[in-house]
Structure 1
């Protein structure tokens, strides 16, 4: 039986498989849909856009496939890509296949509660080191010199996320337009550009048996731009969500597991790259704004009945607390 969003019979014909296919939705993803696909001999991971409401410029399978393929020879651990299908006739939308990487994805604080301080520190600092490795990659050297337009990156990001918000508006949201205006009025000058993941966090990596990052996932927002945007959003996910009063958008970082603080992660990143973090609070505020827009887009699709999987029914509750946290972070910078 085909899961929502996949026609296994047509997919089997396209792949030329001699075996029946089976697929299941991987829990956790709230944007692009991810499935484990098996034919009795091989195991792959298939990525496709969400059902229904698709925001402009988002959910581009070719971009995801391209950046993962380009990073394969670098120090950044990524799954091996298998194929890209741009023909929407096969399953209704473009999709790509990549190898299945064995390991653990820590999606909840309950999963990390028992790690212990040594393993928690190893994982945390490995996570930061991989991000630093990503930002050290020369885009030209891996064929990604034209993957984005670094000049004016932050200004374009603010316009883009405001457009995404406007495309998903279905209700009044206190403070969100004011937060966008404050961010726009105080946009810092970007540091040296690099490859930006766009949604880098603990539950977007696979952790291997050695406790280190085995693969970085979910590259749908990747581009060329200001690396501190990744750092700010990572810190929002790391220790900025605990007081929001909702599990709809939560962190996998258990406070009792022995993880280092967000400040310690920022210091590690700064030491690795020689980065100036003077304006980091602006990037943290931008991370809250971006996450609020993403959550509102998911809420919009949930209300329209266009989502697959569990965990969406309370996503709308977290949007205004995220906006308030963004205002607080900007006030710290002031």
Structure 2
């Protein structure tokens, strides 16, 4: 088989040696393609094709390498992401990739990393161009909310992720997440954040109902973080780096945040009518829709967004990561979420904008 494009030959050589040592029975393993996938900034992501031999003959396999960068848009722990993928893989029909190797030592590739199987035959959907999925928008939307609910339906007891992180009590999920993102905003802000601070005060003083159940929370389930086959089906759910155990309403609110709806607020996540979307999610998750819980978590989603964008801007400004998506996030998406928060908080304080 002729070699394909290898963007980073030195990394490819190191990866081949590592993969051969960790794939039972593999020999003469070589990397035949390695290409950087741009777009996310929490890990350096590479698509890798390998060729090798085992007892049954020559083989090829597609992999995804996720390596820690010097600094990232989101400060996450690779062990947790790896455990989240393992917890979802093969469960409830969720199209999660197969988690293969986890390496916490910097030695083999210069930074900690993990490797998962590559799911073939899909393309990402730009959250700002949802119309590109037509004429299959509704079909994709139904699968979107079914898989969102399926993740929430998983029994977390004894799962890989439950062995890596603590499980909060149902009445403390909100506080843990609010405290975390408030800390991210305050430690990374380069200028005053009055809208964010107003939101933190409001959310703290008006907590949501306790979680109906504790679930695996993907943390970044949205358009842009799945692959679809062009025929109306989602064939891979990606980017589990923000996964944790918590209230499934956090995922529902983030997935339907207005930033990801493609300027179509009449349809949930820009896909299908809200009643249909909520009905699918309820059936798949086993949760009953609670408007009060959704209101709190949807406000929190805007604040969480600000936390991500403020952190990304700080990393770029401090020259810790030169990926331009961090600069763009610190400008455009920050402004969008700040305006969303301000417009929703103002009426609660008797202010007209």
TM-score (norm 1): 0.84
CA displacement 1:98-152 (0-9 Å, x = unmatched):
1111211112444633512xx1111011100001111111111545444432211
Q: Structure 1: which 5+ residue stretches go unaligned?
A: 242-250
Q: Report how many residues are paired.
A: 317
Deviations 1:203-239 (A, max 9, x none): 1112135422212111111111100011111111xxx
Gaps of 5+ in 2: 1-5, 21-27, 52-59
Q: What is residue 23 of structure 1 aligned with on the other side?
A: 34
Which residue of structure 2 aligns with residue 234 of structure 1?
255
SS of 1:275 mapped into structure 2: coil
Instruction: Please say if residues 309 and 326 of structure 2, whose CA atoms lie closer than 8 Å, have aligned partners that are also in contact.
Output: no
TM score, norm. by length of structure 2: 0.80
Partner residue, 1:160: 180
CA RMSD of aligned residues (A): 2.8
- C-alpha distance 327-263 of structure 1, shift in aligned 2 (>3 A): farther
Q: Is the 8 A contact 2:226 2:237 kept in 1?
A: yes
Match of 1:63 in 2: 80
What SS class does the counterpart of residue 98 from structure 1 fall into?
strand
2:312 to 281, 298, 308: 298
User: What displacement does 1:20 show?
Assistant: 4.4
- CA deviations 1:232-275 (Å, max 9, x no partner) are 11111xxx12xxxxxxxxx3747499832456423432354341
The CA deviation at 1:67 is 1.6
Match of 2:103 in 1: 85
1:14 is matched with 18
Structure with greater contact order relative to length (CA < 8 Å, sep ≥ 6): 1
Bigger CA radius of gyration: 2
Deviation at 1:43, TM superposition (A): 2.1
State how far apart, in whole Å, the 2-side matches of 1:61 and 1:71 are.
16
| Partner in structure 2 of residue 268 of structure 1 | 280
Indicate the structure with greater strand content. 2
Query: Quick check: 182-191 or 314-323, which moved more?
Result: 314-323
**2:69 corresponding residue in structure 1:** 50
Structure 2 residue 182 is the aligned partner of structure 1 residue 169 = no
Counterpart of 2:303 (choices 273, 289, 299) is 289
